[in-house]
């Protein structure tokens, strides 16, 4: 017999919700619409006040809020609705099959398993009496691309009129596959678009045009040198070094045409204390000093670095919950960036904590181990039934 959380994970894996920014189409498997409707209905069937928030056309978040005895503070639980793309998967992506102690399929570990555990833990805690503070559950769209949903929510939250939460946001927990390690920090991301302009001409007379690929080739090499320099800067004690890579390159239309434009994208992982705009300016200046070419450097999107006060009581409370089910108390940092980046304007604990492993997320045969998923639910329940560590 599968546990309730395993079944819920299975059902949600079967609802395709690939981040639509991977493609322009909004039909399933692209888009979070169907998943949002399912989560909202599930909450409402369990007498929790689920609401759809429209972030952008076809891009919904789901929010449920339960009032606590202390109306002045709110603990936010957050997980995401979208998944990465399903290209190149070696299993049927939306199979949601239980086999060999695992639930298989896209999103099983990132993020539908952790979301399922969070939904059930939220329900169970709200149905008990004596919620000490307000408790909210947010399921976001867009986490896997540019944090569309969490950014929208954070912007609403920062407006004093029309805030979607009662009371003051006191802490937030983000469900991601962390193997029940308590993640207290991750690097941010700055994504930059480099563009060179040229002039097209027939390739039999290249001197009549201006080839946009040559200056970009020099810029790509310069970015490689810049990345090598980052490795010589002082590392963060837990997060290590900043890294930068050219990850996308586009230039040219046809073999017999001199290309009139070329673009490259740079993904730069930044440490706490860094600002995306300053990073953009820094690379811009580096390219100007190294090259004589005209290269436009534009900030496309960013995730802020996340960092926490390690002495905060909520960290101890989460470590207690993890230890009770796994026997381990592990604080760690995360490799990727998360929705927590949208909340850096609040000086509150932003912790990433959930069942499943990043090693089996985004993979060709994504899965989550059912016993780990069950443990995740128990850990969330233990935490929510105890002291949340936000009383002070
Ligand atoms: Zn995730």
Shared-domain flag, residues 58 and 77: yes
Same domain? 326 vs 207: no
| Residue 155 belongs to some domain of the structure | yes
Find the CATH number of the domain harbouring 325: 3.40.630.10
List helix spans (H) across the chain.
4-13, 33-45, 113-127, 148-158, 213-230, 276-290, 313-326, 370-385
CA–centroid distance, 111 to ligand 1, in Å, is 5
Judgement on whether residues 284 and 365 belong to the same structural domain of the protein:
no
- The pLDDT of residue 328: 96
Give residue-wise pLDDT tens across range 112-143.
Answer: 999 999 999 999 999 998 899 999 999 999 99
The Å distance, Cα 225 to ligand 1 centre, comes to 31
Q: Ligand 1 centre from 356 Cα, in Å?
A: 11
- pLDDT tens digits for 32-76? 999 999 999 999 999 999 999 999 999 999 999 999 999 999 999
What's the predicted TM-score (pTM) here? 0.92
Confidence check: pLDDT of 89 > 80? yes
Residues 321 and 285 grouped into a single domain:
no
Q: Ligand 1 is a single-atom ion; what residues have CB below 5 A from it? A: 110-111, 176
Residues 65 and 198 in one domain: no
Q: Which of 273, 303, 333 marks a domain boundary?
A: 303
Between the CA of 77 and the centroid of ligand 1 the distance, in Å, is 14
Last residue of one domain, picked from the residues 267, 288, 303: 303
Can you give the residue range of the structural domain that contains 67? 4-186+305-385
Give the distance (Å) from ligand 1 centre to CA of residue 143: 7
DSSP class of 236: B
Residue 259 tokens read as 């290309």
200 & 286 share domain: yes
- The rounded Å distance from CA 177 to ligand 1 centre is 7
Write the CATH number for 195: 3.30.70.360
Same domain, yes or no, for 37 and 174? yes
Q: Does the residue 192 lie in any domain? A: yes
Whole-number Å distance, alpha carbon 352 to ligand 1 midpoint, is: 10
In a domain, 45, yes or no: yes
Tell me how far the alpha carbon of residue 325 lies from the centroid of ligand 1, in angstroms. Answer: 22
Ligand 1 center to 109 CA (angstroms): 8
Please list, in sequence order, all residues whose beta carbon lies within 8 angstroms of the beta carbon of residue 5, skipping any fewer than 6 positions away: 113, 116, 117, 120, 373, 374, 376, 377
User: What would the pLDDT profile of 209-261 be if each residue is shown by its tens digit?
Assistant: 999 999 999 999 999 999 999 999 999 999 999 999 999 999 999 999 999 99
Query: Taken in order 191, 177, 49, 36, is the CA torsion positive or negative?
Result: positive
- Ligand 1: distance of its center to the CA of 146 in Å? 12
Q: If you measure from the C-alpha of residue 208 to the centroid of ligand 1, how many angstroms do you get, rounded to a whole number?
A: 50
Whether residues 173 and 283 share a domain: the answer is no
Q: How many domains does the structure of the chain reveal? A: 2
Asked if residue 129 belongs to a domain, the reply is yes
- What would the mean pLDDT of 267-288 be, rounded to a whole number? 96
Of 303, 326, 346, the position where a domain reaches its end is: 303
261 CA → ligand 1 middle, Å: 35
CA of 378 to the centre of ligand 1 (A): 20
Nearest in space to 291 (alpha carbons), one of 232, 220, 191: 220
Q: How far is the CA of 286 from the centre of ligand 1 (A)?
A: 33
49 within some domain: yes
The answer to whether residue 363 sits within a structural domain is: yes
């Amino acid at each position: 017999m599968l546990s309730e959380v395993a079944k819920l994970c299975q059902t949600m894996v079967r609802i395709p919700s690939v981040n639509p920014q991977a493609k322009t189409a909004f039909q399933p498997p692209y888009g979070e619409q169907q998943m949002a409707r399912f989560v909202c209905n599930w909450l409402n069937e369990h007498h929790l006040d689920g609401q759809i928030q429209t972030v952008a056309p076809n891009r919904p978040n789901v929010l449920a809020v339960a009032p606590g005895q202390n109306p002045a503070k709110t603990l936010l639980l957050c997980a995401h609705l979208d998944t990465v793309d399903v290209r190149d998967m070696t299993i049927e992506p939306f199979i949601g099959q239980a086999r060999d102690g695992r639930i298989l399929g896209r999103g099983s570990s990132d993020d539908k398993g952790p979301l399922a555990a969070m939904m059930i833990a939220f329900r169970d805690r709200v149905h008990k009496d004596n919620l000490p503070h307000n408790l909210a559950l947010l399921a976001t769209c867009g986490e896997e691309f540019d944090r569309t949903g969490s950014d929208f929510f954070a912007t609403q939250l920062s407006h004093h009129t029309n805030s979607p939460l009662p009371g003051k946001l006191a802490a937030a927990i983000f469900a991601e596959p962390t193997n029940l390690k308590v993640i207290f920090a991750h690097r941010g991301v700055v994504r930059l678009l480099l563009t060179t302009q040229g002039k097209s001409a027939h390739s039999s007379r290249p001197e009549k045009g201006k080839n946009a690929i040559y200056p970009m080739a020099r810029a790509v090499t310069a970015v490689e040198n810049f990345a090598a320099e980052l490795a010589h800067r002082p590392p963060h004690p837990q997060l290590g070094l900043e890294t930068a890579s050219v990850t996308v390159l586009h230039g040219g239309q046809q073999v017999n045409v001199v290309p009139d434009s070329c673009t490259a994208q740079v993904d730069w992982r930044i440490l706490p204390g860094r600002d995306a705009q300053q990073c953009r300016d820094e690379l811009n200046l580096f390219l100007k000093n190294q090259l004589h070419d005209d290269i436009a450097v534009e900030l496309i999107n960013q995730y802020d670095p996340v960092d926490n006060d390690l002495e905060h009581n909520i960290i101890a409370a989460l470590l207690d919950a993890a230890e009770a089910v796994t026997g381990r108390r592990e604080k760690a940092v995360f490799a990727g960036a998360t929705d927590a980046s949208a909340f850096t304007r609040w000086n509150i604990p932003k912790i990433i904590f959930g069942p499943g492993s990043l090693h089996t997320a985004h993979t060709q045969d994504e899965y989550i181990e059912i016993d780990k998923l069950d443990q995740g639910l128990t850990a969330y329940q233990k935490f929510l039934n105890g002291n949340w560590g936000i009383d002070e």
